[in-house]
């Protein structure tokens, strides 16, 4: 498998509060994640990097991957607690937090963790499937039948999250195993999917299928060409022909 990731502040923001990463730990395991920090001057960039680095360190020192969902839940729970306690002990950082969208590939299986509205996709045969569910107030209203799908895009409370890391000592952690086959795994912050449609995402990845690094950079460029209203981060992984 081959992979690439990149992050960009966009066209309108001075600070990049996103974080992203893909790495292997030598145990034939691959971790990829994107995080969208929030808090502005309250250091959303610190929130996203703290969570990223904590999970990365736990992953790298993991020797045996057993009871994987249990381990993932524990790691993410502890990362949240770390961030929550930090904000409690440092009042000037009160209000900072982060989303998290994470894929873990180990022993031929793929696991997803998501918190907030950073998205996780699988792509197969040039068709894209959103594996995560946006944890936003607007998504909640839609699921309750209070608004229509076409109303979500321009809703005034579109960016209000109902789940994030660092805000509370306990959070809801969404974990699932990806059972459907895929050619690509894609993680991105809302700076990508709010700027360009899924069709464009597919077109770019298909066009640069032989150069994953260029595909990632081009996705970010296209988001910025459309206005670049937010930080944008992309993690893209392409599996080999032996993946079923």
8-63 residue pLDDT tens: 999 998 899 999 999 999 878 999 999 999 986 668 999 999 999 999 999 999 98
Q: Enumerate long-range contacts of 54-57, CB under 8 Å, 24 or more apart.
A: 54/78, 54/79, 54/82, 55/31, 55/79, 55/102, 56/21, 56/23, 56/31
Burial of 89 (0-12, 13-18, 19+ CB in 10 A): exposed
Q: How many Cβ atoms sit within 10 Å of the Cβ of residue 200?
A: 16
Residue 178 DSSP SS3? strand
The pairing of strands 2-8 and 18-24 is: unpaired
CA–CA distance, 162 with 140 (Å, rounded to integer): 9
CATH number of 2-132+162-238: 3.60.40.10
* pTM score, whole prediction: 0.94
Kindly report, residue by residue over 157-201, the tens digit of the pLDDT. Answer: 877 899 999 989 999 999 999 999 999 999 999 999 999 999 999
For the chain, domain boundaries: 2-132+162-238
Contacts of 223 (CB under 8 A, 6+ apart): 10, 191, 192, 195, 196, 232
């Amino acid at each position: 498998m081959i992979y690439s990731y990149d992050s960009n502040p966009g066209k309108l923001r001075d600070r990049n509060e996103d974080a992203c990463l893909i790495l292997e730990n030598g145990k034939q395991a691959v971790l990829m994640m994107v995080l969208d920090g929030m808090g502005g001057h309250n250091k959303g960039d610190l929130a996203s990097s703290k969570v990223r680095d904590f999970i990365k360190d736990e992953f790298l020192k993991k020797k045996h991957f057993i009871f994987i969902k249990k381990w993932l839940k524990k790691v993410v729970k502890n990362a949240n607690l770390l961030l929550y306690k930090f904000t409690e002990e440092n009042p000037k950082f009160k209000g900072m937090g982060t989303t998290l969208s994470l894929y873990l590939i180990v022993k031929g299986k793929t696991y997803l963790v998501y918190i907030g509205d950073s998205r996780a996709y699988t792509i197969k045969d040039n068709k894209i499937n959103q594996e995560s569910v946006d944890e936003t107030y607007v998504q909640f209203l839609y699921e309750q039948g209070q608004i229509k799908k076409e109303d979500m895009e321009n809703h005034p409370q579109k960016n209000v999250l109902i789940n994030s890391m660092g805000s509370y000592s306990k959070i809801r952690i969404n974990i699932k195993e990806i059972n459907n086959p895929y050619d690509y795994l894609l993680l991105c912050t809302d700076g990508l999917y709010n700027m360009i449609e899924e069709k464009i995402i597919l077109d770019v990845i298909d066009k640069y299928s032989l150069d994953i690094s260029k595909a990632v950079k081009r996705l970010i460029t296209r988001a910025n060409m459309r206005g670049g209203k937010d930080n944008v981060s992309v993690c893209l992984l392409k599996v080999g022909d032996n993946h079923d």
